[in-house]
Amino acid sequence: MARTVKGPDARRERWKGHREQRRAEFVDATIAAVAKKGPDVGMDDVAAEAGVSKPVLYRHFTDKADLYLAVGQKATEVLMDRMGPALAADGSIRDRIERIVDAYLSVIEENPNLYRFVVKGSFADRPVEKDVVAEDKNLIAATLARIIGDYLRAFDMDSGGAEPWAHALVGMVQNAGDWWLDRQTMSRANLSDYLATIIWHALDGLLRSAGVEIDPATPLTPLRLVD
């Protein structure tokens, strides 16, 4: 019964920010460990990298899955930071698509180990329950779905396809990027161009079939894309 209902004991709040910072520190250590020892690092490796022993890690992450999830979120942040400007930028539609795609590719190109770790390594033995990467893909797809839906509605078109479209696009770019990262048989610019071409044509065809004509070079930006 030590839980006296006094005022908000400052001792409880004092660390609020500190804990966050510590988690971030361990996430960084994990990323460093991954870079050093490949994508199959264990908790001991991570702890060692952070200059600490295992139990300390477990005070901040309930689970290996929890740690991996945090790493995934960090990676998503990096990704979003890079893609945000591309999403918001102006310019022709075709160019903007290409820039967004290229932003994604540039991130995975710069952090191949981290990328593999997040996308492939996933939860080592814990079952499907908490899929690490699914969360992030869903976040991106959801963002995209909103944008696409807004566009479709702006043109008075059926917006029911926005979600499948978004997931289709995410999978498309992700898988093509994955392949590219493994066997780098073409330049990044080249792949970005191919992918953007597919996407642009799909979009253009869809609009055409609804009677809307868009010039690929039109700098049209009828909607605010990001809040």
Partner DNA sequence: AGTAACCGTTACCTCAAGTAACACTTACCG
Partner DNA sequence: CGGTAAGTGTTACTTGAGGTAACGGTTACT
Site residues, DNA (CB under 7 A): 2-3, 5-7, 9-12, 14-15, 18-19, 22, 42-44, 51-56, 58-60, 62-65, 124-126
Q: Which window, 11-19, 48-56, 89-97, 127-135, contacts a copy of itself (CB under 8 A)?
A: 127-135
Q: Minimum CB separation from DNA for residue 190, in Å?
A: 38
- The verdict on 200 binding a copy of itself (CB under 8 A) reads yes
- The verdict on 151 binding a copy of itself (CB under 8 A) reads no
Q: Look at residue 63 and give the partner it binds from DNA, a copy of itself, none, a contact being a CB closer than 5 to 8 Å depending on partner kind.
A: DNA
Q: Look at residue 27 and give the partner it binds from DNA, a copy of itself, none, a contact being a CB closer than 5 to 8 Å depending on partner kind.
A: none
If one counts every other C-beta atom within 10 angstroms of the C-beta of residue 222, the result is 9
If one counts every other C-beta atom within 10 angstroms of the C-beta of residue 51, the result is 8
* CA–CA gap between residue 53 and residue 45 (Å, rounded): 9
Q: What HEC string does 109-172 produce?
A: HHCHHHHHHHHHHCCCCCCCCCCHHHHHHHHHHHHHHHHHHHHHHHCCCCCCCHHHHHHHHHHH
**CA distance to 40, 73, 91, per residue, from 96 (Å):** 36, 25, 6
Q: Which window, 11-19, 52-60, 149-157, 187-195, contacts a copy of itself (CB under 8 A)?
A: 187-195
* CA–CA gap between residue 82 and residue 107 (Å, rounded): 8
Q: Give the amino acid at 222.
A: P
One character per residue 104-123, x = contact with a copy of itself (rule: CB under 8 A): ------------x---xxx-
Nearest to a copy of itself of 86, 119 (CB atom): 119
**CA distance to 3, 43, 129, 130, 140, per residue, from 64 (Å):** 31, 7, 13, 11, 24
The residue ranges that bind a copy of itself (CB under 8 A) are 38-40, 116, 120-122, 124-125, 127-128, 131, 137-138, 141, 160-161, 163-165, 167-176, 178-180, 185-186, 191, 194-195, 197-206, 209
